[in-house]
Amino acid sequence: MDDLKEYCGVFGIYSPNSDVARLTYFGLFALQHRGQESAGIAVSDRKDIVCYKDMGLVSQVFDEKILNILKGDIAIGHVRYSTTGSSTELNAQPMLVSGENPIAIAHNGNLVNSLDIKKELEEKGIKISGTVDTEVMAKKIALYYKNDILSTLLEVLPSFQGAYTMLVLTRDKLIGVRDPYGIRPLVLGKFNGSYVLSSETCGLDIIGAKFIREIEPGEIVVIDEEGIKSTTFAQPDPRLCIFELVYFARPDSKFGTRLAHEIRQEMGRILAQESPVDADLVIPIPDSGIPAAIGYAQQARIPFSEGLIKNRYVGRTFIQPDQRLRELGVRLKLNPLKEVIEGKRIVLVDDSIVRGTTSRQIVNLLREAGAKEIHMRVSSPPTSYPCFYGIDTAERGQLISAYKSIEEVRKYIGSDTLRYLSVEGLLRACRGGAESFCTACFTGDYCIPIPQDIKVTKGILE
């Protein structure tokens, strides 16, 4: 993993007689890997909705005092990395729209037509104060919401184009929505006879909720005192983001019946079949390269070893993603085990190369530690196209594979050889065809058309 940024995680719970804010806190804690810039929780006590959010990690934003104020029966929470809009408190989520019929929204994804919706709202005299697409979604839903939230969503959702996994909180309901492509994940769990929604199954595990099923693409679930009601609002065309399986999801989260960890090991095994090499040791770039390195080592029958020790106390929060700090960051984070590496032919495994700067520094670290040969193996195809659906893979000009051949990337990072997993190999590991996943950052095949004149990248609404 090299310079990919996280995006967002959502968690919601409908559980009268439980401490829903505290449960949401723990759910968000498990989803912290999906965003470290801001965190927030909105709670309904059936009379009103209150929301607390701030910049920072979940453990920094909330304390006992705040959780004790957030009392109610239903809650939604959000952790955020800014994928549109700048990283300010104004853009933190959940997004609360107060009024006669208050709603709060937590969203993961990116709309590709948020500028159009913003214009439409402004023409109706509605002020958009932040720069994030979630605000326009929340304000549009609030504009149409009179009595029945389901009919409101059925009316409004067709105007949202892009990736949206969304939780909506009303006074008496928890609603989960997944866009027709299901680009971002959302799972349903059961807790104490009530229901939980989470971006990943690890959010269910942490509170002891039982996984029931994934929310389907194009599905709305409404959870209230009558139980759960499912409605299909659009013809599903499932295209789960394949990067969820490559990197984003926590290794202990499940997709169907398979752990992300297991799927990543399979990627490593297929990579070893496709691109074998004679070597002494397989070393992962921690932590993202570990499962694929295990799989590669198993398949190639080459010993697996740790070779780079990660300093786990370097928080990701305050390292700003500019070039200077990124370069400093590698030495702060990783230290090679010289005695393990010296004189060895190393297979170095990571899940992706985005800008190439981190890989280059790591190869350099291993050379300095005395590695005889370094064979870089990447358990996904070259990342040549930017993501418009909620992952900050940077502008195309910053993606090294967008403008350099594999041989040029190899020269840049300084390894002896460089091989990537093929798109076919990746799909095989994920047990799906090209029609089941979004693979656009590898193939340029965007399932949701990107408006020609709009590049929905960070800052587009500013």
Among 105, 423, 56, 401, residue whose Cα is nearest residue 271: 423
Q: By CB under 6 A, what part of segment 234-273 binds ligand SF4? A: 241-243
Which of 28, 97, 302, 441 lies at the binding interface for ligand SF4 (CB under 6 A)?
441
Distance CA 417, CA 201 (A): 37
Question: CB within 8 A of 241, min separation 6: which ones?
Answer: 163, 183, 184, 248, 387, 389, 390, 391, 437, 438
Per-residue HEC secondary structure of 270-334 comes to: HHHHHCCCCCCEEEECCCCCHHHHHHHHHHHCCCECCCEEECCCCCCCCCCCCHHHHHHHHHHHE
Given the complex with ligand SF4, which of 243 and 420 has the nearer CB atom? 243
Q: How far is the CB of 94 from ligand SF4 (least distance, A)?
A: 23
Q: How far is the CB of 185 from ligand SF4 (least distance, A)?
A: 11
Given the complex with ligand SF4, which of 418 and 438 has the nearer CB atom? 438
**Burial 364-377, CB ≥16 within 10 A → b, else e:** ebbbebebebbbbb
Given the complex with ligand SF4, which of 161 and 417 has the nearer CB atom? 161
Which of 42, 75, 138, 183 lies at the binding interface for ligand SF4 (CB under 6 A)?
183
Q: How far is the CB of 429 from ligand SF4 (least distance, A)?
A: 14
Q: How far is the CB of 243 from ligand SF4 (least distance, A)?
A: 4
Question: Looking at beta carbons, which pairs linking 216-220 to residues 24 or more positions away fall under 8 Å?
Answer: 216/178, 216/182, 217/178, 217/179, 217/180, 217/181, 217/182, 218/178, 218/179, 218/180, 218/182, 219/177, 219/178, 220/150, 220/153, 220/154, 220/157, 220/175, 220/176, 220/177
Q: By CB under 6 A, what part of segment 378-397 binds ligand SF4? A: 387, 389, 391, 393
Interaction mask 111-150, ligand SF4, x per CB under 6 A: ----------------------------------------
Given the complex with ligand SF4, which of 215 and 441 has the nearer CB atom? 441
Q: How far is the CB of 443 from ligand SF4 (least distance, A)?
A: 9
Question: CB within 8 A of 248, min separation 6: which ones?
Answer: 6, 7, 33, 34, 241, 391
Distance CA 72, CA 394 (A): 39
Q: Which residue has the tokens 């559980």?
A: 15
Q: Give the pair of three-digit tokens for residue 159.
A: 């105007």
Distance CA 177, CA 169 (A): 11
Binding flag, residue 57, ligand SF4 (CB under 6 A)? no
Please confirm, yes or no, whether 241 is among the known catalytic residues: no
Given the complex with ligand SF4, which of 126 and 454 has the nearer CB atom? 454
Q: How far is the CB of 225 from ligand SF4 (least distance, A)?
A: 36
Q: What is the DSSP letter of 205?
A: H
Among 462, 446, 454, 452, residue whose Cα is nearest residue 389: 446
Which of 24, 38, 275, 439 lies at the binding interface for ligand SF4 (CB under 6 A)?
439
Region binding ligand SF4 by CB under 6 A among candidate stretches 16-24, 63-71, 168-176, 434-442: 434-442
Given the complex with ligand SF4, which of 336 and 425 has the nearer CB atom? 425
Given the complex with ligand SF4, which of 25 and 160 has the nearer CB atom? 160
Bridge-based pairing state of the strands 373-378 and 308-310 = unpaired
Q: How far is the CB of 442 from ligand SF4 (least distance, A)?
A: 7
Q: Give 194's strand partners.
A: 191
| Catalytic residue list | 8
Residues near ligand SF4 (CB under 6 A):
183, 241-243, 387, 389, 391, 393, 438-441
